[in-house]
Amino acid sequence: MTKFDKTNLKEYLDQCVEQYNQVDFIKNDPIQIPHRFTKLQDIEIVGFWVAMLAWGQRKTIINKSLELIELMKGKPYDFIINHREKDRRAFLSFKHRTFQATDTLYFLEFLQHYYRKNESLEDAFYRHLTRNDHSVKNAIIGFHELFFNLPNAPVRTRKHIATPEKNSSCKRLNMFLRWMVRKDEKGVDFGLWEKIKPSQLMMPLDVHVERVGKKLGLLQRKQRDWKAVEELTLNLRTFDPKDPVKYDFALFGLGVLENKKATLKS
């Protein structure tokens, strides 16, 4: 891959952000699912659940997300708030890879418990931040603890909600937070949350972003973990301290959308 100095690399990545941060991106990505809704709570519920299911082929993720919405009668927030325990039986057949019925039922229980007392899922993250926090690390740690605070929280479901405390990269949670917090005029990310700052976001680190980050000299760490997320995000903050995670579009685009064109051949 072409070698860049710091100035040229920023220019190159900014160009890639402009190229990939477009509404055309939505049609082939799981983010299309929450884009089908307009109500804040519908977008939050669907966005969160879609993000938690986001591993494997994107087509499969999209299809499973649509199946989930159908089970919620096409009205996620209304269903979450008003459904009774007997209504959860329809979800017993829902599964995606290692996400099984036990996990689905607990997600329904937590979301109902939470939304009957709170207006927005943002506070489930924001309440754990202090004025000295420069990233969402403590927000994610606190959310994990909150999510599993109900008495019958299944141990097996914990693997679906990552936490930096276990040095996980927390890719899916960071992606969800990007969707909800980032603000621009492109129409991909929602930018509905006001309390968490875009500058506090951390990069969603998957195998594609990791590979590109290493080829561009933005990431040295061998393990794909939280420390790698911190290293990559810190380097990207030198390009844009107010919105470092916008470069997710560039690195993901180079890693996946342009993969067949051999953009990253050494």
pLDDT of residue 237: 98
Distance CA(81)–CA(55), nearest Å, equals 27
Q: What type of residue is 5?
A: D
Q: What is the pLDDT of residue 7?
A: 81
pLDDT at 266: 44
Instruction: Report pLDDT for 227.
Output: 98
pTM tops 0.75, yes or no: yes
3 state SS of 43: helix
Supply the pLDDT for residue 264: 43
- Burial string for 55-88 (b: 16+ CB within 10 Å, else e) reads eeeeeebbebbeebbebbeeebbebbeebeeeeb
For the chain, residues with pLDDT lower than 50 are 262-266
State residue 263's pLDDT score. Answer: 42
Q: For residues 167 and 164, what is the distance between their CA atoms, to the nearest angstrom? A: 5
Cβ contact 73:45 at 8 Å = no
Q: Which backbone phi and psi does 253 adopt, to 5 degrees?
A: -60, -45
